[in-house]
């Protein structure tokens, strides 16, 4: 198993944000995490990338990540595209992208990966020398995903990549994410757009109040009455 989590809990002070969560992601798999505001989706991704301390089992290819700091986890092959993007708005698109490769020394491969990012998001090549603050929200999300890809992840963590983005760009971004998976990268994506998530992910976990409520294949959950009512707005 690429990522295996068992009994993972996170506290913010005395408040429990994640309780006994178990989840796995296979090599090359696309897994979505659905759930309402405050359910713990971002907390889960932060725990995996070690930017938030947690207790419980957290393993990448059988090795515990719990003893590693966040920057070391990037080197292990987990890149986190966080909520709110966290770009450097006054730096150019190219500089922001290259920051994703800061741990790498393989110059030739870095260039090849940059070409891949430009292939996925051609607008970023056109805008390479433009400062990020002048891009649209959707274009900035593309930079954030591109930057995470520049770390050459085996597992890409995406935190609500479609939030606040116009429909057309959102579809473009989901299409690109699916292509990233087809290229062999496993994806764990927190998302509130349940309809889109169920369309592109292989499997889904539903997080509610810090716990996994339901889980299953996208097809199973898309046919589940509770999911249809609570997440797809189908009576
Ligand atoms: N740094 C923090 N300190 C204290 N409480 C926090 C902190 N970050 C998150 N929380 C709380 O933990 C719970 C889970 O938050 P989290 O951000 O993981 O939810 P989420 O599912 O990502 O929500 P959203 O869809 O709004 O992004 C919430 O109750 C939130 O208020
Ligand atoms: Mg969140």
Whether 129 maps to a domain, the answer reads: yes
Indicate whether 217 belongs to any domain.
yes
Describe the crossing of helices 137-149 and 167-182 by its angle, rounded to 10 degrees.
Answer: 10
The whole-number pLDDT of residue 235 equals 67
Output the CA 184–ligand 2 centroid distance in Å: 26
Residue 15 lies in a domain: yes
* Nearest-CA residue for atom 30 of ligand 1: 38
For range 181-187, the mean pLDDT = 97
Shortest-distance atom of ligand 1 to CA 13: 4
Q: Residue with the nearest Cα to atom 7 of ligand 1?
A: 12
Q: Quick check: 160 pLDDT over 90?
A: yes
CB 196 within 8 A of CB 25: no
Q: Residue 84: what pLDDT?
A: 87
Instruction: Provide the pairing of β-strand 3-12 with 15-25.
Output: antiparallel
pLDDT value, residue 133: 97
CB atoms within 5 A of ion ligand 2 belong to 41-42, 83
Is residue 88 assigned to a domain? yes
Q: Is the pTM of this model over 0.75?
A: yes
Write the CATH number for 67: 3.40.50.300
In this predicted model, what pLDDT tens digit does every residue of 9-60 receive, in sequence order? Answer: 999 999 999 999 999 999 999 999 999 999 999 999 999 999 999 999 999 9
Average pLDDT on 139-160 reads 97
Q: Which of 8, 12, 86 to mutate to test the pocket of ligand 1 (most atoms within 8 A of CB)?
A: 12
pLDDT per residue as tens digits for the range 105-121: 999 999 999 999 999 99
Find the Cα–Cα–Cα–Cα dihedral 182, 201, 174, 40, rounded to 10°: -130
Confidence of residue 233 (pLDDT cuts 50, 70, 90): confident
**Assigned domain for 235 exists:** no
Give Cβ neighbours of residue 157 (< 8 Å, ≥ 6 apart): 45, 48, 49, 78, 79, 80, 81, 148, 188, 189
Asked whether residue 44 is assigned to any structural domain, the reply reads yes
State how many domains the chain has. Answer: 1
| 104 CA → ligand 1 middle, Å | 32
Tens digit of each residue's pLDDT (9 = 90 or more) over 161-179? 999 899 999 999 999 999 9
Cα 171 from chain centroid (whole Å):
16
pLDDT digits (tens, 9 = 90+) for 71-107: 999 999 999 999 988 999 999 999 999 999 998 999 9
Asked, for residue 78, whether it belongs to a domain, the answer is: yes
Supply the range of the domain harboring residue 24. Answer: 3-230
Please state, for a pLDDT cut of 90, what percent of the chain lies above it. Answer: 96
DSSP codes, 137-188: HHHHHHHHHHHHHTT--SEEEEE-TTTT--HHHHHHHHHHHHHHHHTT-EEE
For residue 15, report the distance from its CA to the centre of ligand 1, in Å. Answer: 10
Instruction: Report the pocket of ligand 1 as residue ranges, CB < 6 Å.
Output: 12, 15, 17, 35, 37-43, 83, 192
User: Which secondary-structure segment (H or E) carries 25?
Assistant: strand 15-25
Residue 24, pLDDT score = 98
Question: Would residue 111 count as lying in a domain?
Answer: yes
What's the rounded Cα separation, in Å, for the pair 143 and 145? 5
150, two tokens: 């520049």
């Amino acid at each position: 198993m690429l990522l295996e989590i068992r009994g993972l809990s996170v506290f913010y002070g005395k408040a429990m944000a994640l309780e006994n969560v178990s989840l796995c992601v296979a090599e090359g798999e696309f897994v979505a995490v659905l759930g309402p505001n405050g359910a713990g989706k971002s907390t889960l991704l932060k725990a995996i990338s070690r930017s938030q301390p947690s207790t419980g089992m957290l393993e990448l290819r059988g090795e515990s990540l719990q003893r590693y700091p966040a920057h070391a986890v990037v080197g292990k092959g987990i890149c986190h595209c966080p909520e709110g993007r966290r770009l450097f708005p006054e730096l150019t698109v190219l500089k922001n992208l290259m920051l994703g490769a800061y741990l790498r020394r393989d110059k030739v491969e870095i260039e090849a990966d940059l070409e891949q990012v430009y292939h996925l998001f051609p607008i970023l090549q056109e805008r390479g020398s433009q400062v990020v603050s002048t891009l649209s929200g959707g274009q900035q999300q593309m930079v954030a995903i591109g930057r995470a890809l520049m770390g050459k992840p085996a597992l890409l963590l995406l935190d609500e990549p479609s939030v606040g983005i116009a429909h057309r760009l959102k579809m473009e971004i989901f299409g690109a994410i699916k292509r990233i998976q087809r290229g062999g990268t496993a994806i764990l994506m927190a998302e509130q757009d349940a309809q889109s998530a169920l369309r592109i992910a292989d499997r889904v976990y539903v997080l509610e109040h810090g716990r996994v409520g339901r889980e299953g294949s996208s097809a199973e959950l898309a046919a589940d009455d509770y999911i249809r009512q609570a997440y797809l707005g189908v009576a």
